[in-house]
Structure 1
């Protein structure tokens, strides 16, 4: 279904049944629906592929909720894509779904911005993109390293310090503005670096930015 209002508008749950819901929604909507169902084993899910990927074991669908129901349905669900069990919290699948989509949109927009830069000087997206996809391999490696730093709350600048990032981001902002490419994204990234450096963390690595993202108020 398109969303939770569309789902709940037609839902007529049968007590004693299992409901596996793959409707996109928020973690709060998933948890609320799970709490409203009486006598129904509820599993929430997030489809991490487009329609052509359904049935491909390389694709994945995220699930969370009733573990007994998920185990019993695993054979059926495996026919759709690899089922990824995220535990008992019915909102966890929706949370991970939303977070992963955020990575997708941020990555695609960064690539589009980069493509706008290089094509402004006469290059083509087709020529540039193999280098972009090759570069994503090392970038993915940074994520694995940064994950441990985020969990530990320590952000050594062993690959590059925020002082270095800030200086280099100046080049990205300049290149964008000179070519009249929208510089909103470069300005945002530079502002994260600037705020971190101003707070005295210039010798830390980029993972330190997570503290700005977590800041409240």
Structure 2
């Protein structure tokens, strides 16, 4: 068990599981390169077991959605599946953790968009439902984050949806400051940066997004 990526809940989460899975595959590739064939096979076998268990634990077959994880309800002491939208699932998709129909993947991403895209003039993607951290308005799921909006743009880039890539990338560029610095979050009503600025994580995710966009057909951008 660990805390989720947002350092809020304790449990087992699809993003951290995906990171372990991807790390083991990378370790397997390195082991193969240096001639450690036994280690390479073992790392890959464990990765496959983790992936199989993740597909068992995190797929909500009733709703045809991917859950962000399983967490401890400290009031009941029991494990519960996360039912709310959480943008960290986008990272698990990027790391190719799930072997599911495209319908489930698209349902999950659209669920995240529907629940977490702010219905304000500013817009932007919140990180999760009921996010209390520095929240400006309790009627909103949370403040918009730059990293989550970049993840969303990167997902749609992987699906060739140029219109959405442009929309979400433009949001990031529009809400960076005039010097090009990017904060952790944006104010949901005026768009100004909130919390740390510059945030290295925000800048890193924008670089990742740009690298992904550069692989697309530039005629469409």
Q: TM-score normalised to the size of structure 2?
A: 0.29
| Greater radius of gyration (CA) | 1
Q: TM-score normalised to the size of structure 1?
A: 0.29
